[in-house]
Structure formats: C-alpha cells, structure tokens
Amino acid sequence: MRHFPIFLDLCGRTALVVGAGERAEAKAAALAAAGAAVVRHEGADLPTPEQLRSASVVFVCAGDPAQAAATAERATVERVPVNVVDRPDISTFVMPAIVDRGDVVVAIGTGGAAPVLARRIRARIQQLLPERLGRLAGFAARFRGTVKAAVPDFDQRRRLWERVLAGPIAEQVLAGREAEAQAAMVEAINRREAPPAGIVHLVGAGPGDPELLTVRALRLIEEAEVVIHDDLVSPDILSHARVDALRIPVGKRQGRPSTPQAEIEALLVRHARAGRRVVRLKGGDPFVFGRGGEEIEALRAAGIPFTVVPGITAVLGCAAAIDLPLTHRDHASALTLVTGEGRAGARPAMSAAPHQTVALYMGTRAAADVAQGLMAGGRDPETPVAVIENGTRPDQRVAFGTLRGLGDLVRADRGNGPALVVIGETVALARGAPEATSARQAACA
Ligand code: SAH
C-alpha cells in the first residue's frame, strides 16, 4: 500500500483552492459540498505562508507548472497537506476516485499511478452499490438509538441489524418505499426481531435485449435466490442470476402448457415464506399486460413484502429498434396500448381518429378484427402498420403494410416469437418503411 487512506472531516475547516478554471471550480464545489469553508486563490502569484497555514488542506489546480510546484513546496514546508492535480510526485496526498452514496463513500486509490484504472473500478463499484445506499445508512442511523434502548443485548442487537440490512426492510428503503420500511422497522423493534428475509421483487426484464435492463433489475437478478420467469425472458438475461439460484420457468411456450396464474402466485408466496429473495421476472414491464396487478394482490393478501421494478415495455423497445417515433408533433398526439386477448373475448374499445398510434399486444390473432373495427370507425385503410417480431433481439423481424392488409400481413409473416402490431401515421417514418408509405406520409403532412 503506497498511500494510507483516511477520510478527512473538513466541516467548518478551511480548504484552500489555488488556481482558476474548470477543475478549480469543480474542486471548490466538491469541498463546499463536504462542508469546508473554501478559500480561492486565483492569482498568478503564490499564496502567502499565512494563507497556507490557515488552511487544513490545499488543492492546487494552477495552469502554470512553476506556480503549482512552488505552491506545493511552500505548503509542504508549512506542513499543510497538499494535492497538485496530476502531480502525485509533488503532492503529499493523492485524490481517490470516489463513489458517493451519502454517508456511504467508497474511495479508490491506485497509488496515484493509474487514475484511469481507478475510474474504471469506480464504474464497477457504482453499478454494485444501489443509488439509495446513503438513504439506507441514514435510515439505520435514525433507528440506532431506539434499537439500542429496546435491545440492550449486543449479540441480539447485531443479529437484528444484520437481518434488517440484508432483508426486506433494507430492500424497501432502496426501492424508495421508506414509509413501509419505517413501519416494518417499528414492528421489528417492538418484537425485538427483524422480519424474515423473504421478499418478492416483480421485475420487468424489458423486451429482450439485456442492455435494456434497468440498473436495479440487474442488481436484483444478480442477488436473487429464486428466479421465477416468463418464457419471454431471454437466456442472456437469465444468465445474470447466480449459478446456484433456483430458476423456475412458468411460461407458455416450448411445448409446455403455461403454469396457471394461481399456481404462480402460490409459488411466489411459498418461496418468500421460506425466507428467500424471489425475483418474479417478466418480459417488458410487469404492469403492462403482465399480470403484475394480480400478483401483488396475492402478495398483499399473504403479507409478503414486495417491490416492483419497471421494465421497458415491448412497444418502447420495438419502436426504438426501428426508429419509429410513437408520438410526433406533426403526426401523432396519442399512444394507446391495447391487448388483442382481453378476457371473455372483449375487443378493446378504441378511438379510430387519425393522428394517433396504436400498439396492439398479443394481437396476431385479433389483428384482422381490430383493423376492421378501426376502418369501420373511420380510420384510413391506408394507415401504415408494422408487425415487429422478436423486437430488440438478434432475430428481430419487421414487416410493413397498411391497415387494410393487416390481417394478411400477420398471417403471412408469422414466426414463433412474440410480435407487436403498431398502427399509425408515424410508422411511415420508421427505418425500412416502404417508400410508398413514406411518400404518402409526405403528402399528408
Ligand atoms: N409485459 C410485457 C407484455 C406481455 S404480453 C411488456 O410490457 O412488454 C406479451 C406480448 O407482448 C406479446 O404477445 C407481444 O405482443 C409483446 N411483446 C413482448 N416482447 C416483445 C418483443 N420482444 N417483440 C415484439 N413484441 C413483444
């Protein structure tokens, strides 16, 4: 270890920043954020010995190398810790790369030798540490006194904290559900025991491309002990789960009948009751035709804590994949998401007015009917449509046509993957849309 790491308490103490420019500004701002009284020295002359002596720490961001070196030398003589930007050789301390999560701070040093490496490590750690970790530290700090008073025995108290910080209470704080976490914490203190570790996260896996996972989804998948997943979730995404995680497919395809919804809900409850961290992984977003609503009802009824993590829903992924704007100030002022498989065969009621985009989910069977209904309601039969199969995946396929021909288009172009139908003027703007429709679009505009 070349440098000894410490965390300085600069609150109310003077920090001298020598030099002008962006880096000096940034340094001054960071120091002020840590509570330091920042003194700037922007002139080309050297700071006086008095200036240096009154500072607890000196940062030199001067453009002139001679000024920087002389300032560092003076500060060293005065025994004030000094850091010169990009000059570890004349600094008495070096600046680490920092991951800042409020009270939780990670500082990464590479002996001043390889700042780029430090930054790369920082990026990795940043991904690892949830954004709200600082809030979790604050949450724990607020309860520290109460827990100590209620649970005087040290070992019992440590066990309680371990279960709080590794369990559902912490997960709720990290998911921004502090009120629920607070209530659970009060209950834990009253019972002198933290709740069991079981929790269910309803996680949206997006349309397929693993890069479209949210940061939180990725972290929860990596931490899960049980992953209960739809068929729509691609193997690339599942591969992020731990090797020892239990993977339970509950989807329809691959020749199996789908697991009945009640059974899925029972699985969630059973594994969470056994104290496991369960991820219920769904294609797209859990609350867009994903039965997320039914599952959280079941979890609520069973008293199981849960969180919901949104995902990129199919229409957003598919549209981005083919450069299809879903709204457009000139061509579409509404976006409607409808299912072709409503219960009891009910066809969604939707407006047939022009200048709006319709995304039809699970719509290959219903497409012809839906098109008929829209045209009967007055929508132009020449309205462009796209059928996107396996959107955002390597085997993505797109077929373009018009509302009039939608039924045939869907029948002719049917693979095995999930397919989304998009109807609306802006389809003509998509990459690969036929010239004819584009020309027509231009005429309409
Ligand atoms: N919760 C999911 C939707 C589940 S319903 C979401 O938010 O996206 C299943 C339907 O979603 C499929 O029938 C298809 O219409 C659509 N879908 C899901 N993934 C898709 C993909 N990668 N490409 C095209 N359509 C997709």
Question: If you measure from the C-alpha of residue 431 to the centroid of ligand 1, how many angstroms do you get, rounded to a whole number?
Answer: 20
Secondary structure, 3-state, 134-203: HHHHHHHHHHHHHHHHHCCCHHHHHHHHHHHHCCHHHHHHHCCCHHHHHHHHHHHHHHCCCCCCCEEEEE
Q: Report CA-CA distances (Å) from 98 to 57, 115, 122, 246.
A: 18, 11, 7, 35
Q: Is the CB of 237 under 6 A from ligand 1?
A: no
Question: If you measure from the C-alpha of residue 360 to the centroid of ligand 1, how many angstroms do you get, rounded to a whole number?
Answer: 9
Q: How far apart are CA 420 and CA 398, in angstroms?
A: 10
Atom in ligand 1 nearest the alpha carbon of residue 388 = 24
User: Average pLDDT in the 316-338 region?
Assistant: 97
* Residue partners of 413: CB distance under 8 A and separation at least 6: 387, 389, 397, 399
Q: How far apart are CA 323 and CA 184, in angstroms?
A: 46
Backbone angles phi, psi at 226, to 5 degrees: -130, 130
Q: Report CA-CA distances (Å) from 205 to 144, 238, 257, 335.
A: 36, 9, 22, 22
Q: Do residues 347 and 361 touch, judged by C-beta distance below 8 A?
A: no
Question: If you measure from the C-alpha of residue 436 to the centroid of ligand 1, how many angstroms do you get, rounded to a whole number?
Answer: 28
CATH class of this structure's domain 14-95: alpha beta
For a mutational test of ligand 1's pocket, the pick from 232, 258, 315, 414, i.e. the residue with the most ligand atoms closer than 8 A to its C-beta, is 232
- What per-residue confidence (pLDDT) applies to 442? 52
Q: How far apart are CA 349 and CA 145, in angstroms?
A: 57
- What per-residue confidence (pLDDT) applies to 111? 75
Host H or E run for residue 106: strand 104-108
User: Average pLDDT in the 319-327 region?
Assistant: 98
Query: What predicted TM-score, i.e. pTM, was given to this entire model?
Result: 0.80
Closest CA to 46 of 9, 24, 75: 75
Q: Do residues 39 and 17 touch, judged by C-beta distance below 8 A?
A: yes
- What per-residue confidence (pLDDT) applies to 90? 94
Which tens digit of pLDDT belongs to each residue from 360-418?
999 999 999 999 999 999 999 999 999 999 999 999 999 999 999 999 999 886 778 89
- What per-residue confidence (pLDDT) applies to 416? 82
Which tens digit of pLDDT belongs to each residue from 412-436?
867 788 999 999 999 999 999 997 5
User: DSSP letter string over 313-329?
Assistant: -HHHHHHHHTT--S-BT
User: Of 284 and 101, which is predicted with more confidence?
Assistant: 284
User: DSSP letter string over 372-406?
Assistant: HHHHHTT--TT-EEEEEESTTSTT-EEEEEEGGGH
Active site residues: 230, 252
Q: Is the CB of 314 under 6 A from ligand 1?
A: yes
Task: Assign 115 a pLDDT band (cuts: 50, 70, 90).
Answer: confident
Q: Is the CB of 279 under 6 A from ligand 1?
A: no
Which tens digit of pLDDT belongs to each residue from 32-90?
999 999 999 999 999 999 999 999 999 999 889 999 999 999 999 999 999 999 898 99
Which tens digit of pLDDT belongs to each residue from 187-231?
999 999 888 889 999 999 999 999 999 999 999 999 999 999 998
Quick one: what percent of the chain has pLDDT higher than 70? 95
- What per-residue confidence (pLDDT) applies to 231? 86
Task: Assign 439 a pLDDT band (cuts: 50, 70, 90).
Answer: very low
Task: Assign 2 a pLDDT band (cuts: 50, 70, 90).
Answer: confident
- What per-residue confidence (pLDDT) applies to 343? 67
User: Of 295 and 440, which is predicted with more confidence?
Assistant: 295
Q: Do residues 171 and 307 touch, judged by C-beta distance below 8 A?
A: yes
CATH topology of domain 315-441: 3.30.950
Question: If you measure from the C-alpha of residue 391 to the centroid of ligand 1, how many angstroms do you get, rounded to a whole number?
Answer: 9
Q: What is the DSSP letter of 90?
A: G
User: Of 69 and 113, which is predicted with more confidence?
Assistant: 69
Atom in ligand 1 nearest the alpha carbon of residue 290 = 1
User: Average pLDDT in the 106-123 region?
Assistant: 84
Q: Please tell us whether the domain made up of 197-312 is placed in CATH 3.40.1010.10.
A: yes
Q: Is the CB of 302 under 6 A from ligand 1?
A: no
Q: Is the CB of 392 under 6 A from ligand 1?
A: yes
- What per-residue confidence (pLDDT) applies to 186? 96
Is the CA virtual torsion 167, 169, 174, 176 positive or negative? positive
Q: Is the CB of 284 under 6 A from ligand 1?
A: yes
Q: How far apart are CA 206 and CA 321, in angstroms?
A: 13
Tokens 């330091």 label which residue? 36
User: Of 98 and 255, which is predicted with more confidence?
Assistant: 98
Q: What is the DSSP letter of 427?
A: G
Tokens 């724990």 label which residue? 140
